Amino acid sequence: MDEKKFEEIIGFAIHREIESMDFYNKASNMVKHSGTRDLFLDFVKQEEGHKRKLEEVLAGKIELGKIEKIPNLKISDYMVETELKPDISYGDILRIAMKREERSVKLYTDLNEKNQDEVLRNVFSFLIQEESKHKYYIEKLYDDEVLK
């Protein structure tokens, strides 16, 4: 695969992480409760970690590595996304976050399935894994703290 195509794809993924960081930052400034604000700021940090890892891949500082199978609790499969508003509940925050991560996993899965280049497939598999980890983390929070 040519290097320019690789850089474009990683750049696209970095842009998606920045969009998520911006969304969660905006959400943290919009909500009234400090605990809710802290949760959104935690999501910002996690997205920043994804962005940093992608930048390291782009710079050749880390290899994509072995792809792990991430559990899928499928909680978000049965949810309708809610609207972000100042008095949003903890459960609704997690629902919004789950649906955002679910869309990212779906996007990278679709791109992976449509691509024949082995290097690109490895990149998309890596991105699917990273987004799946975040989705699992959020679904686990929801399962442990909202559905309990």
Rounded Cα distance, 101 and 79, in Å:
13
Residue 9 has pLDDT above 80, yes or no: yes
With tokens 């809710």, the residue in question is: 36
Q: Residue 82 carries which DSSP code?
A: P
Q: How many domains does the chain have?
A: 1
Is the distance from CB of 99 to CB of 81 less than 8 angstroms? yes
Domain span at residue 17 reads 3-145
pLDDT, tens digit, 9 for 90 and up, residues 65-98: 788 889 999 999 988 888 888 888 888 888 999 9
Mean of pLDDT over the chain: 88
> The domain spanning residue 109 has which CATH number?
1.20.1260.10
DSSP element (H, E) containing 39:
helix 34-58
pLDDT tens by residue, 53-64: 889 888 887 777
